[in-house]
A = this chain, B = another copy of it.
Amino acid sequence: MIPFKLTEELVTEIEQLIENQKDTALVALMEDLHYADVAEIIDELDEDEATYIIKLLESDKTSDVLTELDDDVREGILSNLSPKEIAEELGELDTDDAADIVGELPNDIIQEVISEIEDREHAKDIVDLLRYDEYTAGGLMAKELVKVKEDWNVLTCVKEMRAQAENVTRVHSIYVVDADDKLMGRLSLKDLLTTSTTTHIKDIYIPKVDRVGVNEKPEEVAKIMSKYDLEAIPVVDEIGRLVGRITIDDIVDVIREEADKDYQMAAGISQDVEADDSIWQLTRARLPWLFLGLIGGVGAAAIMGGFEEMISKHAILFFFTPLIAAMAGNVGVQSSAIIVQGLANDDLKGSVGDRLVKEMLLALLNGVVLAAVLLVFTWLWKGDFLTALAISISLIAVILVAGFIGTFIPLFLHKKNIDPAIATGPFITTSNDIFGILIYFWIAKVVLGI
């Protein structure tokens, strides 16, 4: 089996086949490809070509392709399909993927699309899912699952399960509910198969089963599933009724997106952008953070302007401002990254106070080592011990403050239920730049007795 590789030749070949309307050749070529690979190809085509392919292929394949496409490509294609065509695609999808697509449709056609879905039960499930916030367990879950009632006997159970399993791609667990649909536990397939057909389910089910509430945040679901190595988890509503199921493949996406988001925030990029987004989208994600940096820089300039009288006698102090600012920024980013990551992976233990004391000790250790090196260098370079000492002492102070800010701010934001990741990138570097420079000139002033 040769792994699929997207090449420019392949894209050109497909574009020519589309242009010449060689439908048989196109179908034959796509037939052997996985839907994720077809999606990769379609992402490279223009809207008309992409629509042509989607209309050409069977909807049991194209429905999966649609879920894998870039958002803007999918939007373009869907705008060219009739409500009936969209409904056919949705009919082939699991309810969670179908609901995600419906959620992206223009409001004025949603009703028509839903009414065109043939399987009314499926349509109802999709509509149910629409009312959950995208960023909750409810927004992630699918309605497809296998559930049996506790007062059934094994025979009824097996019969019902067979019917249900038809709609479920992967059966991870058999959930047991009571007459009110409340989740009671799960059933082991082995127990089911080795028990007499007249036994009641309530006598053989396992009453312990991990679960999450519909309003749980996706990151929390991800933490629970990866901590307990679960491949699927049932979702219950406020009164404990089984309403859906989340599978590990959706959680893999959550983990990736979450990590990407934290990383982007740390790099000063807001919103979920990719390298292939438009220059306009990228600018909107990047410019505000650069603007913040600009304001910080202007602030730093203003502070230095206030110490202008020092410049004639101690120009060397000004040469070291970029160093001080850079070190303050670096230490701040390091400290905040450790905290944000610890919070994300849930492995921060101990109190805020302990955490700060530890970071201060760490900053002091690093600061003293770096300051000693800088002291020797500056002294040898300029031959002025007092100035060298002033710069080095400032460096230690700046590193201490930067470490404190970098540790405290994300912990504080987390306590206030604000995403601590916003305190990592330009925000922390900019504020540390300003504080750093301010502290630097103050200390220099004191040490040099100006």
Contact = CB atoms under 8 A, between A and B. Distances in A.
A317 B140 CA distance: 54
A98 interface: no
B301 A319 contact: yes
A389 to B, nearest CB: 16
Interface stretch (A22-30, A116-124, A148-156, A254-262): A254-262
B290 A330 contact: yes
> Can you tell how many copies of this chain the complex includes?
2
Contacts of A275: 338-339, 341-342, 347-348, 355
A263 interface: yes
A318 B315 CA distance: 10
A238 to B, nearest CB: 15
Interface in A415-437: 424-426, 429-430, 433, 437
A197 interface: no
Given A300-B323, A323-B300, A355-B275, A252 B226 contact: yes
Interface residues of A, number: 103
Nearest to A373: B294
Contacts of A342: 274-276
Interface in A36-92: 36, 44
Contact of A263 (B228, B259, B429, B437): B259
Interface in A352-377: 355, 358, 361-362, 365-366, 369-370, 373-374, 377
Given A252-B226, A331-B290, A424 B267 contact: yes
B279 A327 contact: no
A312 B315 CA distance: 9
Nearest to A229: B249
A3 interface: yes
Contacts of A312: 312
A282 B373 CA distance: 20
A224 interface: yes
Most buried by B among A1, A293, A316, A326: A326
14 contacts: A1-B211, A262-B263, A263-B337, A264-B341, A267-B337, A267-B424, A283-B366, A291-B373, A301-B320, A302-B319, A304-B322, A318-B318, A322-B433, A329-B429
